Structure 1
Amino acid sequence: MSATDDPPSPASADTPHYHGHRERLRERFLEGGANALPDYELLELVLFRPIPRRDVKALAKTLIKRFGSFAEVCSAPPALLMEVKGVGEAVVTELKLIEAAAQRFAKGEIAQKPVLGSWSKVLDHCRTSMAFSEREQFRILFLDRGNGLIADEVQQTGTVDHTPVYPREVVRRALELSATAVILVHNHPSGDPKPSRADIEMTKTLAEIARPLGIDVHDHIIVGRGGHASLKAMGLI
């Protein structure tokens, strides 16, 4: 256990004041779900387990103020989380567990289903997996003839504003998997999903290389904190 997490302590005869608050918060969550709570209160619920013997409202508010939202707190790099007073290894583990569960759930929503018929789920998966990352990632969804998901792979991880992409490597991997279509996805850590000229040119190059080999580029989706952009919907491919 980290020095900043609460150590075990003997039970007190006097019930701490925050116990009633915790019970009320749990009841509101059970009755109204996550939508009944603002981000900081939902985060409080998460913090109850790693910090069982301290009021966590102030810490939850501090984390939201520092990182921006519940999702951004859970996806923040561990080193940055540990810079916040009161956050130790137990808290980081709990937050990373929430992040992993969200990603696994979103991925499960599109597994074994025609991807193009579950477009909102695809977007949810992409945003959950990448929108809050501090580095650019280039991800590919490989599809079969029925547009079912064969594989979901991160091909490259770059810097805060650039990821090297090699179209021939993408096509080679698609052929290895016997994929007949791909959906390209990458994130803009700046938060603005607007495609750059380089994004557009790379997508067109990849599509030109893939087409003669029977591989379609269905779309290139760019995700950010501010939403997403589809090059296909924008008429750019």
Structure 2
Amino acid sequence: MAADGDDERGFFHERPLALKPGKTAVAKPQHAGHRDRLRQRFREAGSGALADYELLELLLFRSIPRADTKARAKALLKRFGSLAEVLGAPEHLLREVEDIGEGAALDLKVVAAAAQRMARGEIKGREILSSWTQVIDYCRAAMAFEDREQFRILFLDKKNALIADEVQQTGTVDHTPVYPREVVRRALELSATAVILVHNHPSGDPTPSRADIDMTKTIIASAKPLGISVHDHIIIGKKGHTSMKGLMLI
């Protein structure tokens, strides 16, 4: 495995190699032509013309400028399953893949963070209930591949526009402590009139547990006398999501 300093330039910085005095230029490595062709395909045909591993190659070009990235891209997909799961994987797990060093792993997490910000921008200030697909996309980008449970709250104003999005609690792989009074207190601080509760199941199965249902009903009972509605409780898994309202559980 090559050292980080030998094969990576973190944060997308691709610099030409400086020649030492008396040295002559050498031919470009074989992968250089492949990179040029892949970039050209992306420019001309867009992302839809590229397979997931090819998009991942493009991302790795900047952080690994002097080596073939195809094998690395395919190794990442084999380990995590999909491009979304690669970007959602914790940095320390990315570094466990052969020839993925600290710089490349960090660059992938920067891309993931940018994607989350873009998804959040799709719903910020908009009427949430009429932008439900964007809400789900944002929640999946933010939580689907976390390795611990998170309990997130979307706080809405009287027009159901997003005021704030906060992770209230982070727990273990199968449990997050939730305090209904804290949910209501924070909603009052933000002058929210409605909330959407969201949490993830790292196991991948978004089916609500009995504890999930009971906790949601407790929050509803605590919030209702204060004029705060709970529109839904969404559970996010790697392969999909569940709406408690859609299942008529609340």
* Shorter-chain TM-score above 0.5: yes
Length-normalised TM-score, structure 1 = 0.95
Give 5+ residue unaligned stretches, structure 2. 9-15, 20-24
1:144 counterpart residue number? 157
Name the residue aligned to 2:70: 57
Question: Shift of the alpha carbon at 1:34?
Answer: 2.0
1:33 aligns with 2:46: yes
Map 1:35-114 → 2, pairs under 5 A? 35-114=48-127
**1:122 deviation in Å?**
0.6
Q: How many residues align?
A: 236
Tell me the residue number matched to 2:4.
Answer: 4
Is the 1:137–1:186 Cα contact (8 Å) retained in structure 2? yes
Aligned equivalents of 1:120, 1:82: Cα separation in 2 = 33
Q: Report the equivalent of 1:13.
A: 26
C-alpha separation in 2, matches of 1:197 and 1:31? 51
TM-score by length of 2: 0.90
Which of 17, 37, 54 pairs up with 1:24?
A: 37
Q: Give % identity.
A: 66
Aligned residues of 1:136 and 1:188 also touching (Cα < 8 A): yes
Mean CA deviation greater in 73-82 or 140-149: 73-82
Counterpart AA for 1:3: A
Of 164-173 and 7-16, the range deviating more from structure 2:
7-16
Instruction: Select between 85-94 and 3-12 the one with higher mean Cα deviation.
Output: 3-12
Q: Which structure has the larger Rg? A: 2
Structure 1 residue ranges without an equivalent (≥5): none
Give the aligned partner of residue 211 of structure 2.
Answer: 198
Question: Following TM superposition, by how much is the alpha carbon of 1:32 offset from its aligned partner in structure 2, in angstroms?
Answer: 2.6
Q: What is the deviation of 1:3?
A: 2.4
> Equivalents in 1 of 2:127, 2:161: separation in Å?
4
SS of residue matched to 2:123: coil
1:9 deviates by 4.8
**For residue 81 of structure 2, what is the amino acid of its counterpart?**
G
Counterpart of 1:233 in structure 2 is 246
CA RMSD across the alignment = 1.5
> Counterparts of 2:180 and 2:209 in 1: how far apart (Å)?
17
Contact 1:81 1:92 (C-alpha < 8 Å) held by counterparts: yes
d(CA) in 2 for partners of 1:53 and 1:47? 11
Secondary structure at the aligned position of 1:207 is classed as: helix
Tell me by how many angstroms 1:74 deviates.
Answer: 1.4
The separation in 2 between residues aligned to 1:32 and 1:161, in whole angstroms, is 43
Partner of 2:191: 178
Q: In 2, Cα distance between the equivalents of 1:117 and 1:66?
A: 37
Q: Using the alignment, how far apart are the partners of 1:53 and 1:40 within structure 2?
A: 18
SS in 2 for 1:109: helix
CA deviation after TM superposition for structure 1 residue 13, in Å: 2.4
The separation in 1 between residues aligned to 2:208 and 2:50, in whole angstroms, is 34
Partner of 1:216: 229
What residue in structure 2 maps to residue 162 of structure 1? 175
Runs of 4+ in 1 over 3 A off after TM superposition: 7-12
- 2:4/2:103 contact within 8 Å kept: no
Segment of structure 1 superposing worse, 85-94 or 205-214:
85-94
- Partners of 1:157 and 1:209 lie apart in 2 by 22
